[in-house]
A and B are shown apart, each in its own frame.
With several copies, the nearest count.
Chain A
C-alpha cells in the first residue's frame, strides 16, 4: 500500500460517508471536502453534486484543488448558482443533503463555534464569524471536520453556538432539527454520535491509540462499540485524489 498523508485519509473517510445522488455544500478553504466529493464521484457516487462556498459553482472539476472558495480557479463548472440562490436553498431545507463544516470549537453534541473563545462581549479570541453555519440543521445531515484535534477545539460546550449540533436535554423545545451531524473527522480519528446526540469514538486512524484521542478531547466521549481502525485510503482512492491534486495540497 502506498504512503498517504493524514489529510488524504480524511478525504477518503469523508468520501466514503457520501452517497450517490446527494448534494453537498461546503464553505471556506474547500480543498478537503471538495477532494472528498470528487473522490466520491469518481468511485461510488457518480451522481453526487457539490457546491463550493461563495463561488456557487456546482461540481467544478479543475485540474488542481483550489486553496480558496471564491477564486477564478473554480471556473468553469457545468453550472454556477449565484450566492443569494445558494442561501435561499439552504433556507428551503430540502435542496441540500450534506453540509461539510468545522469550527474554532466543536462540542460534545456537535455544536460548532466560529465566533469567539471566551465571553462574546470581550472575547479572548475573536473568530472570523459564523458565515453559513446556522444553516447546518437545514441539510439532512452534516459532516464536521477539523485539522485540530485538541482539548481547546473539542470542548464540552462551545462558548458560543454558531452552528447547531444535536439537541441536548435542555434544548428539547428547539423547534427544528433534522438528522444533525453524523460524523466528525479529525487527524486522529473519526467520531459519531449516540442516540442521545453525544459524541463517541468510531475509529482511530492507523498508528493512533484510543487513549491518544481521549487525551486530545476536552470532554468525555460517550461509550460505544469498540473503536475500529480507520481503513486507510486504498491505492485506487489515492490515485484519484492525486489526479486532481498535483500540488499536493492534501499532503502538506
Chain B
C-alpha cells in the first residue's frame, strides 16, 4: 500500500535527525505538502540536501529551527529576493552550511545513486573558494591516469527524499511532466523515497511516457496524492507560483515573532484540502 496520507508518509519514512533531500527548483515543484507535515510534527533534520536551487521548501524548515546543517548550492526566492530564514540562521551562526555548487551537487547525487563513492569535479570549481571551506564534501584526489591533483566531491545518499511529480498511476509508478530538474537523480539516490503527486491516472497510463520521465514503483516507498500541494510554489503546466503568498511568507519570516503566527497559518494550509 504505497498510497499514503502526508502524515503517514512522513511518520513512516522520515526518521528524526536523519538526512532529508527535498526536490523542486526555484519557485517550482517544491514538495510542500510533505514539508509542511515535517514542520507540523517538528521533526528535526540532521542534514537538509536540496536541489541546485531551493526556495521555501528549505527556508521554511530552516526558519522553523528544524535544520542542523544544509548541503545546498542556493536557497533564495529568485525574482522575489533572498531567503529570510536561511539568511538569519546562517548570519546568526546557527546553521552549518556545507558549501557546494550546482555541478558538484548533481554529480554527488549521481554518484550516490550508483554506488560510486566520490567524483572528481570538472574544471572551474578549483578556481573558487568553495572547496577549501567545505572539507566535508570536498577533498583532494590524485588522478591515477595523469598523476595530477584535483578536487573530488563525496557522494550523497539522502536517508529520505521528498519530490513532487505530476502523476502516479494506480500501480504507484510516477511521471514527471515537463521538467525533471535534478529531482529524478535525487530520487535515484534516495534510501527512502516519498513522492507527492498532483493526480492519479489508471494503471498502464504511463506506458507511453519516455524512459527518463518516469520512476517505477519499486523505487518508491510512498506516494502522497496532494493536488495543488506544491503551493505556494508552482507546478509547471498546472499552476504558477503564488507570488502573493510567497511575499507574505518573506515579510513574516524576517522577524521570529511574526513568523510564529505565519507558521501556524502555513502548516494549517493542507488541513482538509489534500486527498
A83 touches B99 (CB 8 A): no
Beyond A72-B236, A161-B128, list 16 extra A-B contacts (CB 8 Å).
Answer: A23-B218, A28-B74, A53-B53, A54-B53, A72-B178, A83-B181, A87-B102, A89-B114, A92-B189, A95-B219, A126-B87, A129-B75, A134-B128, A137-B127, A162-B130, A164-B124
* A contact set with B: CB distance below 8 Å: 23, 28-29, 49, 53-56, 58, 67-85, 87-95, 114-115, 120-138, 160-164, 171, 174-177
A134 touches B26 (CB 8 A): no
A91 touches B114 (CB 8 A): yes
Residue of A nearest to B29 (CB): A70
A131 touches B101 (CB 8 A): yes
B214 touches A80 (CB 8 A): yes
* Contact pattern, B 208-248, Cβ under 8 Å of A = 1, otherwise 0: 11011011111100000000000000111110110000000
Name the one of B87, B133, B241 contacting A120, with C-beta atoms under 8 angstroms: B133
- A129–B103 Cα gap in the complex (Å)? 13
Name the one of B99, B115, B236 contacting A91, with C-beta atoms under 8 angstroms: B115
A93 touches B123 (CB 8 A): yes
B115 touches A93 (CB 8 A): yes
5 examples of A-B residue contacts, CB within 8 angstroms: A54-B179, A75-B236, A78-B203, A133-B101, A162-B130
A88 touches B188 (CB 8 A): yes
On whether A70 and B207 interact (CB within 8 A), knowing A78-B171, A91-B124, the answer reads no
B273 at the interface (CB under 8 A from A): no
Chain B residues, CB < 8 A from A132: 52, 73, 101-103
Chain A residues, CB < 8 A from B26: 28, 53-54, 68-71
Could you say which of B25, B86, B90 has the most chain A C-beta atoms within 10 Å of its C-beta? B25
Chain A residues, CB < 8 A from B212: 82, 85
Chain B residues, CB < 8 A from A137: 123-124, 127
On whether A161 and B216 interact (CB within 8 A), knowing A78-B171, A131-B53, A132-B52, the answer reads no
On whether A84 and B216 interact (CB within 8 A), knowing A72-B237, A176-B124, the answer reads no
- A202–B81 Cα gap in the complex (Å)? 30
B47 at the interface (CB under 8 A from A): no
Chain A residues, CB < 8 A from B173: 58, 78-79
Residue of B nearest to A127 (CB): B82
Q: Which residues of chain B from 135 to 177 have a CB within 8 Å of any chain A CB? A: 169, 171, 173
Residue of A nearest to B209 (CB): A79
B254–chain A nearest beta-carbon distance, Å:
14
Name the one of B53, B106, B207 contacting A84, with C-beta atoms under 8 angstroms: B106
A174–chain B nearest beta-carbon distance, Å:
6
- A132–B51 Cα gap in the complex (Å)? 12
A83 touches B123 (CB 8 A): no
